[in-house]
Amino acid sequence: MKKRIGFGVAIALFAFALLSTRFYMVDLPVWHILGGGNAPDPATLHLRGEFVESNLGIAEDPKGTFTVRMIAQQYVFVPQCIVVPADVPIRFRITSADATHMLSFLGTNYGLKAVPHAVTEATFTFAKTGEFKIPCHEFCGPGHYAMRGRLDVIPENKFSPLTPEERRTCEPR
């Protein structure tokens, strides 16, 4: 009898894991393909819409709020390095060009899932200045373990004089 219950629990856990994976891999993309939400198409991300290259990185809107737009793709983040001011709410909008990726901001409690056909949005405030690694925390293929970006958090008074070009990315030039 006990064995039966254990087996039942195992089946239930397996079904749950399968269903939650299915949600991201199948249901969500299908829902977006059918026109749910304003879904970006992974095939044309770089060509038109919100995630064209010139629109990536941090942007300040007229109200003074900051938005970071990023693409995750096998096996890089674009931009690879982002610079943000400390102690200011930063809105992130991220999508994926292929598999599901997971950005994890090392040294903080923040993480973000990047899913094809969907935009993940979250607002984070980074209180501590410094450099934070952004490894990918969701297995996304053979290059997964080398997939990492960087976040530079700098004081607001050092951020505001930066030119749009300097704000776009902090990759070494």
Binding site for ligand CUA (CB under 6 A): 101, 136, 138-140, 144, 147
Q: How far is the CB of 142 from ligand CUA (least distance, A)?
A: 10
Q: How far is the CB of 70 from ligand CUA (least distance, A)?
A: 12
Q: Select 84 or 134, whichever has its Cβ closest to ligand CUA.
A: 134
Q: How far is the CB of 16 from ligand CUA (least distance, A)?
A: 22
Residue 27: which residues within 8 A CB-CB, separation 6 or more?
A: none
My answer on whether omega of the bond before 42 falls inside 30° of 0, hence cis, is: no
Q: Select 86 or 114, whichever has its Cβ closest to ligand CUA.
A: 114
Coil, strand or helix at 172: coil
Q: Select 58 or 72, whichever has its Cβ closest to ligand CUA.
A: 72
Q: How far is the CB of 83 from ligand CUA (least distance, A)?
A: 21
Dihedral sign, Cα of residue 122, residue 128, residue 134, residue 137: negative
Q: How far is the CB of 78 from ligand CUA (least distance, A)?
A: 12
Q: Are 73 and 98 in contact (CB under 8 A)?
A: yes
Q: Select 101 or 167, whichever has its Cβ closest to ligand CUA.
A: 101
Q: Are 69 and 55 in contact (CB under 8 A)?
A: yes
3-state helix, strand, coil in the chain (%, to 5): 25, 35, 40
Q: Are 90 and 58 in contact (CB under 8 A)?
A: yes
Q: Select 68 or 114, whichever has its Cβ closest to ligand CUA.
A: 114
Round to whole Å and give the CA distance between 122 and 49: 20
